[in-house]
């Protein structure tokens, strides 16, 4: 990739603060592929998610020089290696807070978080509500395979009760967490679901998530043929129902109703479930800085001094 863009001089930052336009270029999806080949198992659903993400980046036209792919730890958290972007392979479960700080410091960047169900909802579970309620302007693609793959088959927060793993050899004793219901509950402004083998839908949902101003959460059911044979690509396809065209994506009650009804019927609702516009965290921070008479060039000392009697 080209030489990195320098961090703007503080004097230039006011112009960047709270801008949500994406820096665009005309590139094909193959141009977003970095020169490291994916080293996931053959047949892993994550290959399909990567393909969809590369297509979405091309369709949005994001400049790779202004793109940062953040991840935690796990099979899916290796994804940034394969995308032409700046990359932050952080600690287990900590992609969210790192992405939050990054987006606040450089709101002119496109920030995409990629990770798994264990990373996001177990180790990182304490961070997920705050990404949603704060409406951090990042796109979070969760590759949900209902198992810990990298550490070789332990139960994750989304594992089905009937699934036998190393830590649940007789099956689970806990109800699985539903990522989309969780995100709707905590106030995410864009919530969608797909499955890895549906590249067309996954690409569209990631693209629209990147174009959405605010926290965009896309749960992608991504099969793990090595440790979760029962829930393979065919299973996720057969169990999925795309939300009806007349579904009102601005109606939170309707979105929750769709998910609850699908859960009761043992079905998986796919498509765009919810989308609303509300102020993002960086917009609210900028407004606060204005309100207290501070400067927008991140002079934290001056802001602290202003609050002193
Ligand atoms: Fe994919 Fe599962 Fe292999 Fe990990 S262990 S790379 S999730 S198939
Ligand atoms: Mg997993």
pLDDT digits (tens, 9 = 90+) for 93-122: 999 999 999 999 889 899 999 999 999 999
Kindly report the pTM of this predicted structure.
0.91
Q: Is residue 277 within 8 Å of 214, Cβ to Cβ?
A: yes
**Nearest C-alpha neighbor of 195 from the set 160, 231, 169:** 231
Host domain of residue 259: 24-281
CB of 225 sitting under 6 A from ligand 1: yes
Among 143, 148, 149, residue to substitute to test ligand 1 (most atoms within 8 Å of Cβ):
149
CB-CB contact of 138 with 131 (8 Å)? yes
Please give the distance, rounded to the nearest whole angstrom, from the Cα atom of residue 66 to the centre of ligand 1. Answer: 29
Ligand (nearest to CA of 227): 1
Residue 40: is it exposed, middle or buried by C-beta count within 10 angstroms (0-12/13-18/19+)? buried
Q: Is residue 298 part of a domain?
A: no
Question: Which residue has tokens 């795309």?
Answer: 242
Quote the pLDDT of residue 86. 98
| Average pLDDT value for residue range 293-301 | 64
- Answer yes or no: is 286 within a domain: no
Question: Per-residue confidence at 281, pLDDT binned at 50, 70, 90?
Answer: very high
Residue 231: inside a domain: yes
Count Cβ atoms below 10 Å from residue 54 Cβ, excluding itself: 23
| CATH code, domain carrying 30 | 3.40.50.970
Atom of ligand 1 nearest to the CA of 145: 7
Helix (H/G/I), strand (E/B), else coil: 233: helix
Which ranges of 27-77 does DSSP label H, i.e. alpha helix? 45-60
16 within domain boundaries: no
Is residue 17 assigned to a domain? no
Domain count, the chain: 1
| Segment 165-200, tens digit of pLDDT | 999 999 999 999 999 999 999 999 999 999 999 999
Has residue 88 been placed in a domain?
A: yes
Q: Is 149's C-beta closer than 6 angstroms to any atom of ligand 1?
A: yes
What is the whole-number distance in angstroms between the Cα of residue 74 and the centre of ligand 2?
7
Cβ density class 170-181: b for 16+ within 10 Å, e for less: eebeeebbbbbb
């Amino acid at each position: 990739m080209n030489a990195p863009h320098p961090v703007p001089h503080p004097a230039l930052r006011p112009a960047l603060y709270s801008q949500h336009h994406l820096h665009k270029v005309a590139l094909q999806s193959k141009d977003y592929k970095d020169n490291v080949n994916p080293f996931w198992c053959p047949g892993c659903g994550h290959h399909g998610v990567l393909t969809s993400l590369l297509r979405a980046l091309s369709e949005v036209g994001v400049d790779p020089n202004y793109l940062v792919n953040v991840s935690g730890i796990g099979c899916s958290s290796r994804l940034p290696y394969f995308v032409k972007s700046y990359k932050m392979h952080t600690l287990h479960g900590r992609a969210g807070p790192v992405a939050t700080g990054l987006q606040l410091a450089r709101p002119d960047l496109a920030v995409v978080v990629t990770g798994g169900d264990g990373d996001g909802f177990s180790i990182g579970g304490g961070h997920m509500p705050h990404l949603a309620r704060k409406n951090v302007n990042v796109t979070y693609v969760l590759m949900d395979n209902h198992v810990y793959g990298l550490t070789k088959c332990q139960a994750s927060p989304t594992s089905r009760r009937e699934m036998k793993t190393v830590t649940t050899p007789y099956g689970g004793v806990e109800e699985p967490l539903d990522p989309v219901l969780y995100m709707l509950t905590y106030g995410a402004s864009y919530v969608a679901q797909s499955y890895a083998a549906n590249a067309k839908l996954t690409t569209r949902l990631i693209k629209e998530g990147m174009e959405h101003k605010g926290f965009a959460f896309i749960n992608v059911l991504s099969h793990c043929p090595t440790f979760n044979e029962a829930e393979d690509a065919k299973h996720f396809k057969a169990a999925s129902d795309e939300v009806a065209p007349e579904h009102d994506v601005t109606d939170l009650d309707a979105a929750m109703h769709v998910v609850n009804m699908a859960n009761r019927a043992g079905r998986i609702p796919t498509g765009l479930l919810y989308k609303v516009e509300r102020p993002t965290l960086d917009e609210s921070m900028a407004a606060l800085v204005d309100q207290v008479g501070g400067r927008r060039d991140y002079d934290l000392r001056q802001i602290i001094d202003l609050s002193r009697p």
